[in-house]
Every structure is written in structure tokens, then in C-alpha cells.
Chains A and B, each alone.
Chain A
Amino acid sequence: MPRILPAVACNLDTNILTACLPLLEESRVEAIEWSFDALFKVKQVPDWFLELLTAFSKEGRLIGHGVFFSLFSGKWLPKQETWLQQLQQTTAAFRFDHVTEHFGFMTGRDFHHGAPLNIPYTQSTLAIGQDRLLRIQTACCCPVGLENLAFSYCLDEVKQHGEFLDALLEPVNGFIILDLHNLYCQLNNFDIAFDELIALYPLDKVREIHISGGSWEDSYIIPGRKVRRDTHDDSVPPEVFRLLEIVIGRCPNLKYVVMEQLGNGLATEDSRTSFYRDFLRLEAIVNESNTGRFSDPVDMSFLPPLSGMTHLPIEDETLYQQQLELSAILETAGSYGEAKQRLDQSTLAHSAWQIENWEPYMLETAINIARKWATVAR
């Protein structure tokens, strides 16, 4: 079993970097996860940040975490082709130990302004996801993985997610980022026990674990119901640390435990102190688990298969139109009632999307997510 490395999600953000600085100075951060595509539009990245990335990359301790590829868009889009080209250029400059992306399709009027939402688990979406993962792997020539999604519309979807991820990753010999706060959201939003949920995930495929904080949102549809949101703007809850303690020894191929927090949640001295303390707690859990673990001189885990891409991108026009329709409804509906009515009259009704089974408070949450990120940077 490989030695586990404590890591932070470190991006070009003043507050994140300020919070990470004491940990970097004390040599506690053994790897950094970088969301490389957040800088695709940036004309000039500061030299010192490039030097930071290079320092970790040279030691094989830099991992890439894409955000905007939109893995499950039903149509192959020019922006995805551009994203792959930019990934190829980035990996020429920095060697990633692995590259990951998010599960879902991006809502929003264009690239960079949406949020990932779930898709129906069908043969078509499986084929699209496998196709896209192979393309990512061809571009980066390193192991690729997917992060489990926090948001789900219903309990059935929650229970199928692990199995679907397993099937998706098989052709690329890929791995899972097990985001424990995402699971924590699902435990709370769907009243499912952790033992039951974690049994549905192929833990031998977990190479990376994420921990982070989030927030609670009141539902107006179900008064008294609180929805756990994966907003990454607060410290790590004690419950998530307990999940880490439970699961860390059950992932034989785990290599990284990454702590994430958004910069807007690290603007104060108190929040940065909490960030530091959270990392120390992460480090302690990892160190305890590392007893008896050691790293192979040559890491053979999750290596890409030899075959590359030869066929045209797989598409599903019906799925794509439904995604556009769903995005539009979520972003523009004036109320939950209007969104529900429009959905019931849409092409998603009585389809693989199974909107009839969606929990009302999760549809309400999807509306909030879509509208929040649709207005970003306006």
C-alpha cells in the first residue's frame, strides 16, 4: 500500500495562499492539488506561482484537478477540444502525478459559468463518460480519475453513483477521488447511514480523498428541512474527520488526502487559524495510517492503457437538448413551483432523468446552485 501524502488544494488565490503559507514554511504540505483550468484564461501567471508548481511537480507531488471540462455534456463542444489542447500544453510544462475531473455536466450559459449537475445513469451516458475520460487521458498521459458528486436528486441516484463510477473508470484503468464532504452531504440530505453508503463504493479504486467544509441551507419547500451544501467555504466538520478515520484504512491504493477550502472562506485570521489546525488534524490521521505503508519505487497504480483515441467523440443529441432545457429551467424559473411545472412539461418528463422521483428540496437546491453560478462574474 502506498504511503499517503497530506495535501492541500492550492490555487492562485490570495487567501488560499496566505492560509497555506505557514504549512508550506513548516514543510507539512507533501503535495498540492492545482485546478489548472481555472487559469486557462489568465494571460500572465506570476513567476513565483509557476515556481511553486514546478517545485512540487519535480518531486512527483503535483496533482491536477480540472473543473470546467463538463464530462457529461451530450454534445462534443469546441470548448472541450480547446480544454484538451490546453491540458496537453499544461502537462508539457508540469508533470502531473495524476489528473482528475468532476462528475456531471455543467449548467450555465457558457464555459466557466456553470455548476456540475447529475445525469441519468444509462448506457449512453456511460459511453459518453468513458469516451471523455479516454480523451483526457490521451491529452495528459497519466492516470485519470473522477470525483464523486455531492449533489443528487434522490436516494436511488446516491446508491447507484459508486457502481456507475466503477463502470466509467474501467476502460481507462482510472481511479476515484472520494470526497468525504460530498458523502457527508448525501448522508444528511438523504438520511442514509455511512456504512450502507460506503459499501456501494469500490474503495480499491480510491487514490485520493478530499475533505472540506460546507454550509447548511434552509429549505423553503420543506420547512424545517436543512440541506447540506458543498460550498467549501468553512472549516472541516468533525464528522468529516471521523469519516476519514473510518475510511482511510479501507482504501489500499490511497495516495493523497487533500484538504480544500475556497478563498472566500479564508478571508479572516480566525478562518486561516482553523485551516491550519484542520490540516494538522488531517496530517495526524494520515501519519497514523502510514504505519506499515510504504511507497513503491515505481508507482504502477492506475497507469493508462496503451491504446489511444481513434474514433470520433460519442454524442447523444437528445441528452444534450435535455441538458440545455434543464439548465434553462433551473436558471430562469422564478420559483420552485414554476420550475416544477416547466419540468413536468419538458422532454425530461417520463424519461431516464426520472424527474418524478426527485426530492423537492433537492430540486430547490439545484435551482439555487444553477442560479448562483449563472450569475458569477456578471
Chain B
Amino acid sequence: MPRFYLFICQAYNSLKKTDMKLSKSLLSAIVVGIAVQSAVSCTKTSVKPGGPNQQAEQQKGPNAGGPNQPAPIPDWLKDGCPACGMG
């Protein structure tokens, strides 16, 4: 790489912000946002260690039907986390 371009890159890196600093207001909003929701993380059914010859163990989330259920969970909490970890 030409020396001049190398110099430019090094100067750029010395001036460029390298850490992601979030504002205090955003961090506070995240804290509040997490705290106010009656959240459950993704509740996936899990297969018992017995493998395919044994029945899957159902994990019922708060959306199970019936009376005296808690308030409806917002959509974004129902979907929960995505599916990396599918293996």
C-alpha cells in the first residue's frame, strides 16, 4: 500500500471515534423500556433428552388459554428472540 495512503489511514484512525458511546438518555430509555414490560423471553418447546422417541415437553407461556390470565403480551415480546440457535 502506498506510504501516503497508509499515513492517511493512520491519521483517520487516530481521529475517528472508535468506541460506540450511547447517550445517557438512550441508556435510561432502554432500562425503563425493559423494566416496564411483563416480558418473557422466547419460550420454545424443548424436546426431552429422550430424543424423537419421547414426547416433546411443552412449555406453556403466559398466553395459555383460560380465565384469570395476565394482560396480553405485546407482539414484540410474543415473538421473542430470533432463531439463531436452531441447531
Chain A interface residues toward B at CB < 8 A:
3, 9, 11-18, 21, 24-25, 27-31, 35, 37-39, 41-49, 51-52, 55-56, 59, 61, 65, 67-68, 102, 115-116, 149-151, 182, 185, 210, 212, 214, 217-220, 229-233, 260, 262-264, 266-267, 294-297, 333-336, 339, 364, 367-369, 371-373, 375-376, 378
Contact = CB atoms under 8 A, between A and B. Distances in A.
Interface of B: 8-10, 12-13, 16-23, 26-27, 29-34, 37, 39-47, 49-53, 56, 58, 74-77, 79-87
Contacts of B32: 48
B87 A373 contact: no
Contacts of A51: 26, 29
A231 B85 contact: yes
B85 A262 contact: yes
B55 to A, nearest CB: 10
Nearest to B29: A48
A115 B87 contact: yes
B29 to A, nearest CB: 4
Given A297-B8, A372-B45, A17 B34 contact: yes
Contacts of A25: 22, 27
A295 B19 contact: no
A68 B20 CA distance: 29
30 contacts: A12-B76, A12-B81, A13-B81, A15-B81, A21-B27, A21-B31, A24-B27, A35-B82, A35-B84, A47-B29, A48-B26, A48-B32, A52-B26, A55-B23, A102-B86, A220-B51, A232-B85, A263-B41, A294-B9, A294-B10, A295-B12, A336-B51, A339-B52, A368-B51, A371-B47, A371-B56, A373-B44, A375-B45, A375-B56, A375-B58
Contacts of A46: 33, 76
